[in-house]
Chains A and B, each alone.
Chain A
Amino acid sequence: MNTLIYDGTFEGLLTAVFEIYERKLYPVKLLKGEWHTSALFEEVIPIVTDEARASRVLRGLRKKLSAAGVQRLYISHMAEIAGEDCNVLGFIRHVFDSDQNIEEDYGNKYVMRLSEILKMVRREKHRMEAFVRFQKLNDGTFYAAIEPDFNVLPLLIKHFKSRYADQKWMIYDITRAYGLYYDLHDTQFIEMDFAELNKPVNVIAAYSEDEGIYQNLWKNYFASVNIASRKNTRLHVRHIPKRYWRHLTEKI
């Protein structure tokens, strides 16, 4: 068993795949992180991300998978779900070790796992498209904070950009400390220092005048549409798990 350590990027992963085949390193354990810290504890092989090698592997994948298949693989990795790198790697190996396109070989455990990962990621993406709650700031920007289970912010660009084309908006992933900002023309990723911004005084001062009014109207609406004689708390919580509540205007 060889332990490989790489930088966590998709190119890094593909470089690792290159090394595995080139140096016949199977079986391997794949870890994300910085080499020097783990090196203290075990024998590891550091993978230095190499664009040329990565793109050779990518070209290979493109030959054996459909465009959508490559995209799905990329998304599964990008979601950064803990402990799944070995399954993503297993999938890639299955791709290269088979003669035909194995995308729909659901009897294979890696193909099945990837389809499960994708389902989880898609669900999280849909949840974010649903649960983002913008608050209007003084300068007219609509701001929302999110804490998704997986890294799905990049998957949200298309949806929000085509929907909110005439307002400036920002969606900030608090867990991963970066955000997506739309300036009426384009979107870009940004990082912010919240130490100052987050003080209660600053937050309240930043809201537009009618923000509180509409939040209240929405809460009222939410309460009015409930039909008490049909109450079903289990179903309710299954649809909106409690961990999302703290960012939902109607549940605060």
Chain B
Amino acid sequence: MNVDRITEKLNILADAAKYDVSCASSGSDRKNKDKGLGNASNGICHSYTEDGRCVSLLKILLTNHCIFDCAYCVSRKNNDIKRAAFTVQEVVDLTINFYRRNYIEGLFLSSGIFKNADYTMERLVHVAKKLRIEHNFNGYIHLKSIPGASEELMREAGLYADRLSVNLEMPTEAGLKLLAPDKNRQDMIDPMRFLNQEIIRNTEEKKLFKNAPMFAPAGQSTQVIVGATPESDQQVLQSANYFYKNFNLKRVYYSGYVPVLADKRLPALNTAVPMVRENRLYQADWLMRFYGFHVNEIVNNQNPLLDLDIDPKLSWAIRNMQAFPIDINKADLQLILRVPGIGLLSAQKIVAARKFARLGWEQLKKIGVATNRARYFITCKSNEFERRDLTGQNIKQFIMAQSQSKYIKNTQTQLNLF
């Protein structure tokens, strides 16, 4: 093995892959087969980057050579950068050796497009096949589907991979036209539809025949870049909602645009990464998927943008003060989930614990409720509760005043330390 050359390739091709934010390695139930290597079940973050993101997979490009010229992408054809390409065997060896040392849960393999879609996709599938068949590797494999690849190849990919993804890249078709003129939204939607049908068919088969082969057991996901084009949060979330509903996506990832290139169609190079916005989008996404919120409750024509100062649940609550206060000892789980400061687990604990005795503030705190937020919206076993007739705006100010002082304290300690 030429160590220097491999190291160089790894540096180039990991660096080029890092803007894909998807890192999940959960949702599969692949077991260790015949005393082979690995399993894919619970999705572990083995490390965290210095920006706090989970490192769970070996995430690399097979190559950063590309015939396309997407404006937001470092690997675009007209960008003057070092190019490299792994061989199939090199990717296999890296994956196996990292996995054996417990560095990773598996492989996330993507690629620039060399020659054409099928030629590229074939090589991605080859890596996965080699890992599964020759090495009896049962760890997690996420393959990026190259837009425009044939259905034959997509089907084969699904047999070896746990998850497949086609990145939408831009939340709307107009955005895509502007920044990725070579790409065609239909080329992304077609494979998503095809995969969705195959996954549904496979689920049916599995019900009938226990031994039916697995097909992409962790489903499909996609990524949209936010902040490169002027779409509103309403457009972003509605598009996400559309794909959740119609293609059974497991996840939509929101990637705050990192300015890497000077291009007059794009935000200037010194523009800050929209990290707060990205975070708010994820919070909104959770509300849609786990908290029973409809997308229109979170963003709508009156409120097309998420409030950057406060989280979307609090933001919904202060717009809907007529729904509160609710009695924690009586209300349905669905309503408790809507209270700012109460998460999924706390809500479940509340519903379990109140069967034994009615709950007061102390118990709620212990259960994990952020009472400094929740107190404006609930009553419990206590005579102390918010009696003032506060408007949503008042509450927002109170809560922000509290978290602001926390924020200032934290930045100060940070200054002292670094």
Judging by beta carbons under 8 Å apart, are A249 and B49 in contact? Answer: no
Chain A residues with CB under 8 Å of B136's CB are 166
A106 CA to B355 CA in the complex, in Å?
A: 10
Docked pose: A221 CA to B91 CA in angstroms: 13
Stretch in A68-76, A79-87, A225-233 touching the partner = A225-233
Q: How far is the CA of A136 from the CA of B51 in the complex (A)?
A: 30
From B19, B51, B94, B359, give the contact of A226 (CB < 8 A). B51
Asked if B100 and A134 sit within 8 Å, CB to CB, the answer is yes
- A236:B10 contact, CB within 8 angstroms: no
Q: A167-B37, A224-B18 are in contact. Are A106 and B366 (CB under 8 A)?
A: yes
Which residues of chain A from 108 to 131 have a CB within 8 Å of any chain B CB? 108-109, 112, 126, 129-131
Contact with A along B241-283 (1 / 0, CB 8 A): 0000000000000000010000000000000110100000000
C-alpha spacing A106/B363, complex, angstroms: 8
Residues on the A chain within 8 Å of B10, using CB: 217, 220-221, 224
Chain A residues within 8 Å of B, Cβ to Cβ: 102, 104-109, 112, 126, 129-136, 142, 144, 162-167, 210, 213-214, 216-218, 220-236, 238-240, 248-250
Stretch at the interface among B52-60, B189-197, B305-313: B52-60
A132 touches B356 (CB 8 A): no
Nearest CB of B to A108, in Å: 7
Q: How far is the CB of B102 from chain A (nearest CB, A)?
A: 5
Q: Is the CB of B102 within 8 A of A235?
A: no
Q: Which of A134, A220, A232 contacts B102 (CB 8 A)?
A: A134
Residue of A nearest to B44 (CB): A130
Q: Given contacts A106-B363, A224-B10, A236-B48, are A218 and B353 in contact (CB under 8 A)?
A: no
Proximity bits, B344-364, A CB within 8 Å = 1, else 0? 000001001111110100010
Whole-angstrom distance between the alpha carbons of A217 and B366 in the complex? 45
A222 CA / B15 CA spacing, docked (Å): 10
Q: How far is the CB of A180 from chain B (nearest CB, A)?
A: 14
Q: How far is the CB of B140 from chain A (nearest CB, A)?
A: 11
A221–B273 Cα distance when bound, in Å, is 23
Please tell me if the beta carbons of A216 and B7 are within 8 angstroms of each other in the complex. yes
Q: How far is the CA of A231 from the CA of B272 in the complex (A)?
A: 12
* Count of inter-chain pairs, beta carbons less than 8 A: 158
Q: If the complex has contacts A136-B101, A217-B10, A221-B58, are A165 and B356 also in contact, measured as CB distance less than 8 A?
A: no
A210: chain B residues at CB < 8 Å are: 1, 97
Residue B291 interfacial (CB < 8 Å): no
Q: A214-B98, A217-B94 are in contact. List 10 more A-B contacts (CB 8 A).
A: A112-B363, A162-B32, A167-B37, A218-B103, A226-B18, A226-B50, A227-B51, A233-B50, A233-B414, A236-B48
Q: Which residues of B contact A130 (CB under 8 A)?
A: 44-47
Q: A220 — which chain B residues lie within 8 A by C-beta?
A: 7, 10-11, 14
Partner of B359, one of A107, A213, A214, A239: A107
Whether A144 contacts B102 by the Cβ 8 Å rule is yes
CB of B3 closer than 8 Å to a CB of A: yes
Query: Which B residue sits closest to A251, measured CB to CB?
Result: B47
Q: Shortest beta-carbon distance, A200 to chain B, in Å? A: 21
**Residue of A102, A109, A136 touching B100 (CB-CB under 8 A):** A136
Please give, as numbers and ranges, the residues of chain B lying within 8 Å of A235 by CB-CB distance: 48, 51-52
CB-CB < 8 A to B272: which residues of A? 229
Inter-subunit contact B50/A231 (CB<8 Å):
yes
The digit string for B65-106, where 1 denotes a CB below 8 A from any CB of A, is: 000000000000000000000000000001001101111000
State whether the Cβ of B36 lies closer than 8 Å to any Cβ in chain A.
Answer: yes
- Docked Cα-Cα span, A233 to B410, in Å, equals 12
Chain A residue with the shortest CB-CB distance to B40: A163
Question: Size of chain B's interface in residues, with CB distance under 8 A?
Answer: 58
Q: How far is the CB of A229 from chain B (nearest CB, A)?
A: 6
| B217 nearest CB across to chain A (Å) | 17
Residue in chain B with minimal CB distance to A233: B50
Q: Report Cα–Cα, A225/B19, bound state, in Å.
A: 9
Contact of A214 with B97 in the complex, beta carbons under 8 Å: yes
Please determine whether A165 and B100 come into contact, CB atoms closer than 8 angstroms. Answer: no
Give Cα A210–Cα B19 distance, bound, in whole angstroms. 30
- CA separation between A61 and B348, bound complex, in Å? 25
Q: List 16 A-B contacts (CB under 8 A).
A: A132-B102, A134-B100, A142-B100, A162-B32, A166-B136, A217-B6, A220-B11, A225-B17, A225-B18, A225-B55, A227-B51, A227-B53, A235-B51, A236-B48, A236-B52, A250-B47
Contact B3 A213 (CB under 8 A): yes
B137 to chain A: closest CB distance in Å? 10
Q: Which residues of A contact B52 (CB under 8 A)?
A: 230, 232, 234-236, 238-239
The proximity string for B residues 292-303 relative to A, scoring 1 for CB distances below 8 Å and 0 otherwise, is 000000000000
Decide yes or no whether B371 CB sits under 8 A from chain A.
no
Q: Give every chain B residue within 8 A of A167 (Cβ-Cβ).
A: 37, 100
Assess whether B112 is interfacial by the CB under 8 Å rule.
no
* Given A217-B94, A231-B51: A104 in contact with B355 (beta carbons within 8 A): yes
- Which B residues are CB-close (under 8 A) to A108? 356
Measured CA separation A104–B273 after assembly (Å): 44
Say whether B55 contacts A222, CB under 8 Å.
yes
Cross-chain contact A239 with B97 (CB below 8 angstroms):
no
Provide the residues of chain B in CB contact with A221, threshold 8 Å: 10, 14, 58, 98
User: How far in angstroms is the closest Cβ of chain B from A132?
Assistant: 5
- CB-CB under 8 A from A248, the residues of chain B are 47
Choose one: B38, B49, B275; the contact of A236 (CB below 8 Å). B49
B46:A106 contact, CB within 8 angstroms? no
B367 at the interface (CB under 8 A from A): yes
A218–B102 contact, CB under 8 A? Answer: no
CA distance A107 to B362 in the complex (A): 9
Contacts of B359 in A (CB 8 A): 107
How many angstroms from the CA of A130 to the CA of B49 in the assembled complex? 14
In the assembly, what is the distance between CA of A29 and CA of B348, in Å?
34
Given contacts A214-B97, A249-B103, contact A163 B47 (CB under 8 A): no
Instruction: Find out whether the CB atom of A239 lies under 8 angstroms from the CB atom of B100.
Output: no
Q: Could you say which residues of chain A place their CB within 8 Å of the CB of B37?
A: 164-167
CA distance A142 to B100 in the complex (A): 8
Q: Answer yes or no: B418 CB below 8 A from chain A CBs.
A: yes
Cα distance A249–B103 in the bound complex, in angstroms: 9
Closest Cβ neighbor of A160 among chain B residues: B102
